[in-house]
Amino acid sequence: MPFYDRTHSHLYSVYFAPRGRARMFDLGIQIAQLHLSPFDRIIGVLGEAGSGKSMLVKGMFPGLELTNDDDGVNVRPLPLLGQDEDCGFYSPHTYHVDMRFELGFTQPHVIAEAVQQACARGKRVIVEHFDMLYPLLGRNADLLIGLGEEIIVTRPTIFGPQPQEICDTVYKSMRYRKMAHTAEDLCECYIPAREMLRARHDDIKRGFVLAFEGDEPHVDLPYIEERVKQDIAADLPLCYVDDGHITIGDKTHPCTGPRTHVPRTGCIEGFRLVKKLIHDEQNNRWLLAGRVGKLTADEVEQINNMALE
């Protein structure tokens, strides 16, 4: 009986790129369960700095030691380059390399040869910024994952898609994700603390959702929108503090996705709130939704319009 590949007819899957470490980990687990094959040798990950590539990889491959310095860790020498010295029974099965980081230490053709060697030995290599390696590698990844406003998962064939096609899409859309996350934090500054204690993050296209379980929250939507627009006009700087905080101007604010923001509030375009709280009866919660980007109709049914550019 011929081997059946359940991924054979897969073209694209698209997910919202969630905010925060925990939600990104959970999505990584989901993507691994649905899309990863034990026969995959190269996993190509694409996206800007701060898009959550490393968090997604950690969710897909729990326990994998990443070699970049996202968490202050700089693994030297690069395990991928030491295969000949570590080829015994207990040698790693999965390697990780961040091309943008590693090119500061190693010539690209050396990394390409090491990836080819690992694949020939039946190993798996996760390559962040795979587009920088692809021209030297002579083959596409078995699985490509691009992170922008959304997360695109695709299994390329000889007809594509090529890594640069995914890059063109996710790099273009990442600005909307940064704007939306920043606008969400600004809104949180003007929501009563007692309401924020029960707020949860959710996602929509070109925007954000704060979900309040149970009773309708006591929030003043016109006041929140006006104050956020004033902050945007003030062009306040935003800075990373740690994994749980940012600064907005001179104020420290808790944040679950501190790397995913525009540098200044003035970079937010087209901010507005949906003019009413939306009752999600099925899940017994109230939704506060905000939008960024090109001004379009605020009707709820248009929010996740697939044609939205």
For 285-298, write each residue's pLDDT tens digit.
999 999 999 766 55
Is 80 a domain residue?
yes
Same domain as 282, residue 144: no
Whether the predicted pLDDT of 69 surpasses 80: no
d(CA 263, CA 302): 29
Supply the CATH number for residue 123's domain.
3.40.50
Same domain as 58, residue 24: yes
Q: What is the reported pLDDT for 70?
A: 54
Is 241 a domain residue?
yes
Whether the predicted pLDDT of 72 surpasses 70: no
Same domain as 193, residue 145: no
Arithmetic mean of pLDDT, 12-24: 91
Same domain as 126, residue 240: no
d(CA 152, CA 147): 7
Is 204 a domain residue?
yes
Whether the predicted pLDDT of 4 surpasses 50: no
pLDDT in tens, 246-286: 999 999 999 988 999 999 999 999 999 999 999 999 999 99
Same domain as 198, residue 155: no
* Number of independent structural domains in the chain: 2
Q: What is the reported pLDDT for 32?
A: 96
Same domain as 186, residue 110: no
Q: What is the DSSP letter of 65?
A: -
Q: What is the reported pLDDT for 3?
A: 44
Q: What is the reported pLDDT for 208?
A: 95
Same domain as 287, residue 153: no
Is 309 a domain residue?
no
The pLDDT confidence band at residue 19, using thresholds 50, 70 and 90, is confident
Whether the predicted pLDDT of 306 surpasses 80: no
Q: What is the reported pLDDT for 138?
A: 87
Please report, in angstroms and rounded to a whole number, the separation of the first and last CA atoms in the chain. 45
Same domain as 103, residue 149: yes
pLDDT in tens, 146-202: 999 999 999 998 888 999 999 999 999 999 999 999 999 999 999 999 999 999 999
Q: What is the reported pLDDT for 1?
A: 36
pLDDT in tens, 217-251: 999 999 999 999 999 999 999 999 998 999 999 99
Q: Helix, strand or coil for residue 270? A: coil
Same domain as 153, residue 221: no
Which residue range forms the structural domain that includes residue 185?
176-302
Supply the CATH number for residue 295's domain.
3.30.980.10
Is 170 a domain residue?
no
d(CA 294, CA 8): 37
Q: What is the reported pLDDT for 224?
A: 97
Is 136 a domain residue?
yes
Backbone conformation region of residue 270, classed left if phi is above 0, alpha if psi is from -120 to 50, else beta:
left
**Contact call for residues 207 and 281 (beta carbons, < 8 A):** no
Residue where a domain terminates, one of 96, 127, 161: 161
Mean pLDDT, all residues of the chain: 89
Residue where a domain terminates, one of 131, 161, 191: 161
Q: What is the DSSP letter of 170?
A: H
Same domain as 124, residue 67: yes
Record the tokens describing residue 299, joined without a space: 């009707």
Q: What is the reported pLDDT for 21?
A: 87
Q: What is the reported pLDDT for 68?
A: 77
Residue-level length of the chain: 309
Q: What is the reported pLDDT for 2?
A: 45
Same domain as 254, residue 184: yes
Residue where a domain terminates, one of 110, 126, 161: 161
Average the pLDDT over each of 67-76, 98-107, 224-233 and give the range with the smallest value. Answer: 67-76
Residue with the two structure tokens 């994952």: 145
Same domain as 185, residue 274: yes
Is 219 a domain residue?
yes
Whether the predicted pLDDT of 59 surpasses 60: yes
**Contact call for residues 266 and 189 (beta carbons, < 8 A):** no
Is 2 a domain residue?
no
